[in-house]
Structure 1
Amino acid sequence: MKRTLFSAQFKTKLLVIMIISVLLASALELYTFGIPSDFIVRWLNSFFVIFFMIAVTVFGIVPGVNYTINKIFGR
């Protein structure tokens, strides 16, 4: 049986983060700058920044804090 690199739950979380990032980046860019000639470049930059920030929070910081608190209180 072949094992997949990423679980279905991980892929679902990544897809949700991607959709949220697209919506937030679009709203931010359209509200702030409108649609100038360099909209795509600015939109991609803001998408990747927002995606990275949310992904690091969801996959790194929250599980790390949860693990640390569980170790401190012996759960």
Structure 2
Amino acid sequence: MKPYDIEVQRLKSLKHDKGLIELQLDALVLARAARDDGAGGTCLRLPVEHARTLMLLLKQEFAALDKLQPRSRRSGRA
């Protein structure tokens, strides 16, 4: 797996369809040079205001998805 640095510049939209959540955004994606320190994973960076917006949008989408589930499957969730 090739690691990348992803910098979110603007959130455009978030929607769910058929079990997938699709996020449209403007981002700067740069390949990361391989390092020997063990931190070889991809890194996602976004400003605090984008992170808060993303959190709120995800909560709304999950709430909408939960409403689609039968009542018996919702009751076990916290």
Bin of the TM-score, shorter chain as denominator length:
0.3 to 0.5
TM-score (norm 1): 0.36
Higher strand proportion, which one? 2
Higher helix proportion, which one? 1
TM-score (norm 2): 0.34
